[in-house]
Amino acid sequence: MLSLERQEEILEILNKNKSATVEELAAELFVSGATVRRDLRSMEKQGLIKRSHGGAMPFKSSAEESAFAIREQENTAAKRAIANLAVRLIKNGDSVFLDSSSTTGLIIPMLNNFKYLSVTTTGLRNALLLSQTNNVKIYIAGGQIQNHSNSIIGTDTMDYISRIHADISLISCTGLDIINGFTDASIEQAKLKQQMRKNSNKVAMLCDSTKFNKTFLCTDFHFNDIDYLITEKTPPEEYLEKIAQTKCQLITPDNTDF
């Protein structure tokens, strides 16, 4: 079993049982205690778990998506600036994917300025916001409602998204770094966003500056997998150099030539 797969299983066990000892995890996964301890150290650095004496427990603020009400209040000015840029990528008649993020939710009130849009979302709150718009056909993917979040996930959600084609996907992430790209704490979220990308002509990543230099368990995309990176201020120089090597176009309030 690969390290990433093993860590995903450890996270599932901890979320289900609330805690586990090294010995319990080793027996469950058929690996040595040393291997488990090495995985736990790695997962703690990613903010996914909290190690305790002889074992570990999930660190809820990262292992699960933060409660939507909390996320909605975080970095509001930055998210609003990003939303004001992202909406300019939408055209009348477009089919759009929106994920469950609070950043994409800020775009929704501006959709009243368009005609003949079709919008599909995987977010409960975003679906409710869409229901207050005009001239928008609204679709919500079915599936499992993720605890402590606004998200719909699972194989049914994947199947639903796979049957729809979008002109553009507007997607957020939990972390971003030079090596691992755009990451999330949830494998289900990562797979769902990858399916949206597969079924879209264009993908825009909405990422405020607080997410830079943070890495979580699962990679959503690498820089060359997306068409636009939208953030509220110019990223550090090493990110500018990385973006320049790819097809990705950077959009900021100071760089709106798109």
Between CA 204 and CA 46 the distance in angstroms is: 25
Task: Read off the DSSP letter of residue 212.
Answer: B
Backbone angles phi, psi at 188, to 5 degrees: -65, -45
The domains of the chain, with CATH numbers, are 3-63 (1.10.10.10), 68-251 (3.40.50.1360)
What pLDDT, on a 0 to 100 scale, did the predictor assign at position 43? 81
- What is the DSSP secondary-structure string of 114-125? -SSEEEEESBHH
What pLDDT, on a 0 to 100 scale, did the predictor assign at position 46? 67
What pLDDT, on a 0 to 100 scale, did the predictor assign at position 61? 42
What pLDDT, on a 0 to 100 scale, did the predictor assign at position 47? 67
- Run of H or E residues at 129: helix 124-130
Task: Read off the DSSP letter of residue 252.
Answer: B
* Amino acid letter, 155: T
Q: Where in the chain does DSSP place strands (E)?
A: 20-21, 49-52, 55-58, 95-98, 117-121, 136-140, 144-145, 152-153, 166-172, 175-177, 181-184, 200-206, 218-221, 228-230, 249-251
Tens digit of pLDDT for each residue in 53-81? 889 987 654 444 444 444 444 568 899 99
Between CA 208 and CA 102 the distance in angstroms is: 12
| C-beta of residue 212 within 8 angstroms of C-beta of residue 179 | no
What pLDDT, on a 0 to 100 scale, did the predictor assign at position 64? 44
Between CA 96 and CA 172 the distance in angstroms is: 14
- This prediction has a pTM of 0.74
What pLDDT, on a 0 to 100 scale, did the predictor assign at position 229? 98
Between CA 210 and CA 178 the distance in angstroms is: 15
Residue 19 CA, distance from chain mean position: 25
Q: Where in 6-83 does DSSP place strands (E)?
A: 20-21, 49-52, 55-58
| C-beta of residue 14 within 8 angstroms of C-beta of residue 58 | yes
What pLDDT, on a 0 to 100 scale, did the predictor assign at position 148? 66
Q: Which residues of the chain have pLDDT under 70?
A: 1-2, 46-47, 59-75, 147-148
What pLDDT, on a 0 to 100 scale, did the predictor assign at position 41? 87
Between CA 100 and CA 127 the distance in angstroms is: 9
